[in-house]
Structures are given as C-alpha cells and as structure tokens.
C-alpha cells in the first residue's frame, strides 16, 4: 500500500481504538449502573417487593440485635458497637450490593480476630474496619478475586472449625458465670475455664444450659403439613416458621423478661449485659493515633501492632462474603468484583460511625433468603430496625442475661464446624486431611491467623511437591523379539521436575529393555530445563537403548531441535507405535 494513500490506517489507530473501547467500558452509563446496582433494581421496584423486603428486614433485624451485642462482647467492645456495625453496613450495601440475599454485619470469626487488637484500645477496631475496607476495595478495583483460588476447601474448613472452637470455648466463661479471662485461643480458653471452675455460678449455668437446649429444640421443631391438613393447621405452620427464624430474639426476650421480673423482686441471679450507651454514634474519621496506657501510638505504631497477621482480616472478610453470595446465588452468576467493591465501601464508610469490621453473615443471610427477600432493600430495612432499637430501646437491653447471649453463640458455632469433612478426606485424600488438621490445630492452639497461614503454606508445599514429582506411568510390552517400555508423561512438566523426570527415565529403562518410548500426548507444557535434561539423559542411555519420542507437539519438537540440532529424527507420530519399533534394527544388549 502507498504510504501516501489517505485510506491507509493511521499509525497507532488500533491502539487508540482499544483505548476508546476501554474508556467507554469504564466511563459508560451501563458500567456505572453495574457498579451502583440500586440504579438497576429501584426503577423496577414493586409494592409486592416492598412488602417481602420489609418482612425479611424485620425478621433479620430481630436476629441481628442479640447477635450484634454478642459479637461485640466477643471482640471486647461495648455492646452498642455491635449494633452500630449492623446499621451502617446495611445502608451502604443497599446501594452497592449486587446479591439480594446477603446481609452484612459483625460475625463471630471477625470478632475473634479483632479481639486481640481491641485488648490495646477500642480504636483498633475502627481502624481495622477502615484498613480492611481499603484492601478489599482495592482487590475489587484491580479484580484480584482470583487470589482466593489459592486457598483450598480444607484450609477454609479448617479455619472455620478452629474459629468455631475458639469462639465456643471463649463463651464458657459467660455461660457458666466463671471469673477470670477467657483467653485468645481455644487451648487458653479451656485452660482458664478449668483453672477458675470453682467460681461457677449455678444460676447462670442453669439458664445457659436451658437456653442451649431451647435453641436446639426450636431449631428442629417443625409442624408437618400434609394434603389432608386443615387450613388452620397450614396457617399455623407458616406462622411457626417465622417463630423458628426469630428463635434467637425469642430466647433473648424470654430471658430478659425473666431477669426483669426477678430484678423487680429485688433479686439479680444472673450476670446482665448492663447499661448500653444508646443513641447515635460519634461520627468522625477513623483514629489514626491512640493512647495505650500512658503512651501515644501514631499511625505507624498502630500498623506495627496489626503486623502481617492483620492481613488475615480482609482476607476472611472476602472469603466469608463471597462464599456466602455464591452459596445463595444458585445457578445465577456472582459478580465477585462488585461484591468486593460493595464490601470495601461498607467497611470504609461504616468506620466513620464507630463500626467494627463486617462481612456477610451465613446465619442472617439464610434467614433473609428464607423470608423471600427480593432486593438489597432488605438490608436497608434491617438497618432501620436496629437503628430504632439502639436509639429508643436501649433500656430494654440492660436486662439481657450474658449467659443467654453465650448460649446463642455456642449454638451458632455448632452449625459452622465441619468435622464431617474428616471422614471424607480420610477416605479420599490423606494429604488434604493433613492440611485441614494442621489448620485446625494451629488455629486452635496458637491463633486463627497463624492457622490459616500454616494451612495455606502446607497446601502450597503440597502443590509444589506434586509439580516437582509428576506421575510417570510405564507399561512393559514386547514387539517381535524386542522388549519395550512406554513411559507416559503427564500434565505440566515445569522446572521443578527437571531432575525427577530424567531420574525416573533412567530407573525405568533397565538393562533388559531394548526400546524406550516417551509418550507425550498428555503433556500440556514442557519447560526448557526439562527438555535439556531429557536430551542429555537420552543421549547417555542410547549406548544400550533405542529411544522413540511419540506424539510430541510441534512446539515441543522445535524446542528439542533448538537445544540439540538433529534430534528430530527420534520423533514419531501415529496411533500405533509397533510399526515404528519393528522398523528399528535390534541392538546387542550388554
């Protein structure tokens, strides 16, 4: 083409075209609507959706109130912080959230993780929310959700189980009214409990055990309905379902009424939650400095307190929320990027209203889903109910027995343990069972963040070991008067196995073998170092053997030829190898 031809494409035009497409993708109205999902569902909002979302929001809110107080207690924060952490994330998620079922708030695992930092100062909880939100939001913007693929199911299950054990053990103190500290790990909590077991309070213990039994019975108490059931029975069964969903709030209500009646009679047999400073929180930026003892810690000092272990919190935040979103989405796709953006925004904005780190809650999400929620507006109605409670009903929280809240947490922890996975892994994958066991043992004995790091580290080591020691299947057979062996190379042969594969080739090609065939039909990738070592080994063994390289890809053939010119004569193709072997002249065996 003539360079002066005006029809000639301008230099760089394809690049400018790609730039325009990229700009349109990120700056177009459709793109912004995806990143602000309320603009999509709100114009289509109906009265029926409003009613269903309102019912779901009220039901979830009744569960969020006692759980928020309980999780604040786990973190060592004032009770109202747990309620604030249920309000603002719900409001923000209604704007940015893409999954109708998800409900955000404090969770037991995050509360346990943040507790060790709250021991220094409450300010660490608010800063943790801000920093976690920034990291999660950055992950969403950079679309780094694939990082979660490197954390396997055994690690997640082991971490969840260790967290359930630690949280459950930490509640033994409140459940039985024992004095002393609960400890930061499962082992320490158990040791401290038995060390102070002589201080058990009978009244607290009795109420706590009754609470656990009541919750377990309510959990499984269903009213069967058949085709011959009366309409009255059917209506009562539907009403009973809502009672069961609000069972946490129900036992708190009954326990508070009992404590109030006894208090009026001049008797306080149970340890009570006490006064909650209600009203709106103190609004302001997250604390970038704090005072611990008589020492002022600046932002750098606070980051040093968090250390590398602090990165576990945003990771757990993403894991919990995205996993729950996928579990309740069914066959519908989940926009992981948008969920991370929403989750990051919730934590960043909520920390300006004294909120601790929050993420998706499996229990409250399950209730939300069961109530038939239709849009993220359910989270908004839940937040409004909790806001109403923390501003107008705080006096009622005074009489909530601590042992009732401990019972609620312990029962909730039984539903997230995954001990059943042990038998499945034992039958199918001992190495994955080792990963799960290490995560549980380290998490329960040393700390949750160390558990997940050790589990993930062992998982990486297991994967690297498999890459360094790939399977090399072999099959002996005879063609004519020649003894032969086929060595089947599998998968991806990376630099990690550049010594292992040639070593296996030497071992398999014994002295009684005339012809060795390397079958590469199942090889997806072959690194330079592996090819170089294979060539060296083949040239060394060819004094006593014949080698045929069967079904190698053209790119692999070119690699061998580049390393050793003239090597291509050993490559053969075809459905059968026998004809190629018969064409070889027998060589004398030494």
Tell me which residue of 307, 309, 288, 323 sits closest to 454, measured CA to CA.
Answer: 309
Which DSSP symbol is given to 299? H
Asked if residue 557 lies in contact with residue 571, where contact means CB atoms within 8 angstroms, the answer is yes
Q: 271 with 278: CB under 8 angstroms?
A: no
Q: pTM higher than 0.75 for the full model?
A: no
Q: Are 354 and 86 in contact (CB under 8 A)?
A: no
Tell me how far apart the alpha carbons of residues 64 and 246 are, in angstroms, rounded to a whole number.
10
Cα dist from 54 to 59, 334, 375, 463, 499, whole Å: 9, 24, 10, 48, 65
What's the CA gap between 75 and 125, in Å, rounded? 9
Extract the tokens encoding 505.
């080739």
* Paired residues of 104 in beta bridges: 360
Nearest CA to 170 out of 94, 92, 76 is that of: 76
How many residues belong to the chain? 590
515-526 and 546-550 beta bridge pairing: parallel
Q: Helices 47-75 and 377-392: crossing angle, nearest 10°?
A: 50
Each residue's pLDDT tens digit in the chain (590 positions)? 444 554 444 444 555 665 565 555 555 555 666 778 888 889 898 988 898 898 888 878 877 888 888 889 889 999 899 999 999 999 999 999 888 888 899 988 889 889 989 989 999 999 999 999 999 999 888 887 676 667 788 888 888 788 888 888 888 988 998 888 777 788 988 999 999 999 999 999 999 999 999 988 888 887 777 777 788 888 888 888 777 777 777 888 899 899 999 999 989 899 888 777 778 888 999 999 999 888 899 999 999 999 888 888 998 888 878 777 776 765 677 777 888 899 999 999 999 999 999 998 877 887 787 777 889 999 999 999 899 888 888 887 788 888 988 888 788 778 777 788 889 999 998 889 999 999 999 988 988 778 888 988 898 888 888 888 887 888 888 887 788 888 888 888 888 888 888 888 888 877 678 888 899 888 888 999 999 999 999 998 888 888 889 989 899 999 999 999 988 888 988 778 877 777 776 555 44
3-class DSSP state of 127: helix
Distances (CA, A) of 3 to 6, 7, 13, 67, 89: 8, 9, 15, 73, 60
253 burial level (CB within 10 Å; 0-12, 13-18, 19+): middle
Two tokens, residue 40: 């999509």
Nearest to 161 by CA among 429, 419, 445, 431: 419
What are φ and ψ of residue 325, in 5° steps?
Answer: -60, -45
Task: Give CA–CA dist 165/171, Å, rounded.
Answer: 10
- What pLDDT, on the 0 to 100 scale, is given for residue 327? 61
Q: pLDDT at position 249, please? A: 78
Are 349 and 88 in contact, with CB atoms under 8 Å apart? Answer: yes
Both structure tokens of 499: 């010594």
Q: Which of 417, 398, 405 is nearest to 67 (CA)?
A: 405
Q: Structural domains in the chain?
A: 52-152+200-414 (no CATH), 470-582 (3.30.750.24)
């Amino acid at each position: 083409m003539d360079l002066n031809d005006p029809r000639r494409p301008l230099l760089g035009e394809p690049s400018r075209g790609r730039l325009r497409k990229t700009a349109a993708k990120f700056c177009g109205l459709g793109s912004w609507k995806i990143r602000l999902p309320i603009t999509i569902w709100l114009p289509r909002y109906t009265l029926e959706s409003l009613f269903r979302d309102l019912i779901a929001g009220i039901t979830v809110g009744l569960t969020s109130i006692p759980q928020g107080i309980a999780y604040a207690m786990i973190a060592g924060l004032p009770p109202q912080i747990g309620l604030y952490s249920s309000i603002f994330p719900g409001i923000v998620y209604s704007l940015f959230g893409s999954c109708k079922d998800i409900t955000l708030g404090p969770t037991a695992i995050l509360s346990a993780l943040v507790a060790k930092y709250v021991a220094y100062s409450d300010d660490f909880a608010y800063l943790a929310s801000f920093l976690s939100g920034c990291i999660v939001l950055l992950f969403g913007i950079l679309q780094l959700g694939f990082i979660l693929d490197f954390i396997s199911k055994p690690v997640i299950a082991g971490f969840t189980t260790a967290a359930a054990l630690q949280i459950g053990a930490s509640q033994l103190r409140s459940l039985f009214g024992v004095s002393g500290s609960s400890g930061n790990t499962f082992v320490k909590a158990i040791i401290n409990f038995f060390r102070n077991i002589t201080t058990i309070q009978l009244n607290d213990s009795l109420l706590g055990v009754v609470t656990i039994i009541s919750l377990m019975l309510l959990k499984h108490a269903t009213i069967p309905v058949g085709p011959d059931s009366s309409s009255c029975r059917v209506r009562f069964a539907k009403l009973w379902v809502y009672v069961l969903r609000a069972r946490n709030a129900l036992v708190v209500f009954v326990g508070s009424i009992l404590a109030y009646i006894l208090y009026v009679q001049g008797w306080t047999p149970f340890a009570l939650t006490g006064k909650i400073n209600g009203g709106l929180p103190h609004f302001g930026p997250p604390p970038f400095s704090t005072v611990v003892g008589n020492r002022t810690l600046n932002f750098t000092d606070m980051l040093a307190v968090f250390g590398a272990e602090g990165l576990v919190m945003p990771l757990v935040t993403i894991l919990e929320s995205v996993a729950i979103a996928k579990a309740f989405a069914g066959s519908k796709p989940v926009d992981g990027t948008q969920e991370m953006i929403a989750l990051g925004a919730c934590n960043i904005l909520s920390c300006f209203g004294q909120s601790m780190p929050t993420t998706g809650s499996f229990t409250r999400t399950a209730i939300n889903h069961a109530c038939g929620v239709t849009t993220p507006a359910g989270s908004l109605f839940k937040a409004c109910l909790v806001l109403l409670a923390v501003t107008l009903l705080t006096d009622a929280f005074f009489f909530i027995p601590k042992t009732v809240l401990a019972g609620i947490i312990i029962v909730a922890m039984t539903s997230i343990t995954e001990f059943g996975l042990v038998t499945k892994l034992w039958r199918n994958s001992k190495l994955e069972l080792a990963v799960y066991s290490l995560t549980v043992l380290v998490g329960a004995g040393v700390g949750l963040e160390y558990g997940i790091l050790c589990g993930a580290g062992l998982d990486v080591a297991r994967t690297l070991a498999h890459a360094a020691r790939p399977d090399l299947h072999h099959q002996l057979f005879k063609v004519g008067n020649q003894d032969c062996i086929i060595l089947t190379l599998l998968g991806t042969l990376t630099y990690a196995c550049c010594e292992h594969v040639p070593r296996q080739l030497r071992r398999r090609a014994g002295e009684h073998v005339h012809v060795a065939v390397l079958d590469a039909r199942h090889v997806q990738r072959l690194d330079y170092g592996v090819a170089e070592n294979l060539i060296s080994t083949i040239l060394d063994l060819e004094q006593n053997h014949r080698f045929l390289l069967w079904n190698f890809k053209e790119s692999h053939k070119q690699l061998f030829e580049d390393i050793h010119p003239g090597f291509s004569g050993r490559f053969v193709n075809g459905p059968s190898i026998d004809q190629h072997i018969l064409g070889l002249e027998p060589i004398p065996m030494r």
